[in-house]
Amino acid sequence: MGDTPSTGEESVLETPTTPETGDASRTTDIRFLARLNGRVNEAAILVSVALANSGIADFHPTAMSTPSVAGVSSWPRAVVEGSLQRLGELRNAFQQPWLPVGDQDGLIREAFVLLAGLTPTPALLIDFFDSDPDDARQALDAYLAILEGQVRLVARLAARDDRKMPTVASAAVPSDVLAEAGELLSLSQAAKRLGLTRQALHTRVKKRQVLALMQRKNLLLPAFQFVSHGSQIAVVEGLKDVIAPFLKSGGADAVAALRFLQTYHTELGATPANALRQGRRTEVVRAAVRTAAGDDG
């Protein structure tokens, strides 16, 4: 099992203490869940082995399935549910009046150290465990009960972007795609052109009413989707219905939507983008649905 962790260990769970926005906040949330999940699962394995080798058969952590990453927001919930289930099993195990035999005490201590690292005072708890294991387990359980509430809160924070923007990672946006897009506007530039606040346009992007690409953490909006109406500029009518088939169900394939809009379509006799500007919304939407479904016939 390797060396037993030292009693000087510091807490590894850095929960968000100040408000954050965007990618930084989400990264903090995910790291919190990753550290929690790793420690809880490792502790569960150690306790399982220690109790099994001591002839105690009433602690069997259930096997955790690999979360399906069908959508951006589904896997954090799966991780949280698994971690909370495992945490509950560990709390139950530490409450039982069992006495590991032989060198199994070392495994139990390793598990305790791992779990103590999820609390604000790991060193104190570990010293407490070395002097009075039974009372130390009770103290750890009180901390873990509080932690469960924190986990549920962080899970909600991590899932707050359930309706993730229909963008693609910078590595997935080839140079030829950017060239196909024509003029590209930053979020601020596009908002100014539309006479909107930056936040208002960002909200429209989130709601998949505007096509946007993510390049090096910057939103880029193809200018072809904006048209003039007299002295005003607006998003071309019907755009959200055209891009929806490419962006629904977590697919968020903005590249496919862009290529569809900018590629000549035989049935339409024009590019879908131009057909939209001509007011042929129904035809373009129908073609988009077929294309997104892989049926261009």
Label residue 232 left, alpha or beta by phi (over 0 means left) and psi (-120 to 50 means alpha): beta
* pLDDT at residue number 169: 34
The Cα 172–Cα 181 span in angstroms is 15
**Intervals of the chain under pLDDT 50:** 1-8, 14-24, 63-73, 161-172, 249-251
pLDDT digits (tens, 9 = 90+) for 225-241: 999 887 889 999 999 99
The Cα 204–Cα 243 span in angstroms is 13
Q: Is 127 in the same domain as 185?
A: no
Domain that includes residue 34, residue range: 22-158
- Average pLDDT over all residues of the chain: 75
105 found inside a domain: yes
Closest CA to 252 of 184, 205, 200, 190: 205
Please identify, among 130, 158, 186, the residue that sits at the C-terminal boundary of a domain: 158
pTM of the model: 0.46
Question: For residue 45, with 0-12 CB atoms within 10 Å meaning exposed, 13-18 middle and 19 or more buried, which class applies?
Answer: middle
Q: Is 190 in the same domain as 223?
A: yes
* pLDDT at residue number 10: 53
Which residues touch 68 (CB under 8 Å, ≥6 apart)? Answer: 74, 75, 78
pLDDT digits (tens, 9 = 90+) for 128-143: 989 998 888 888 888 8
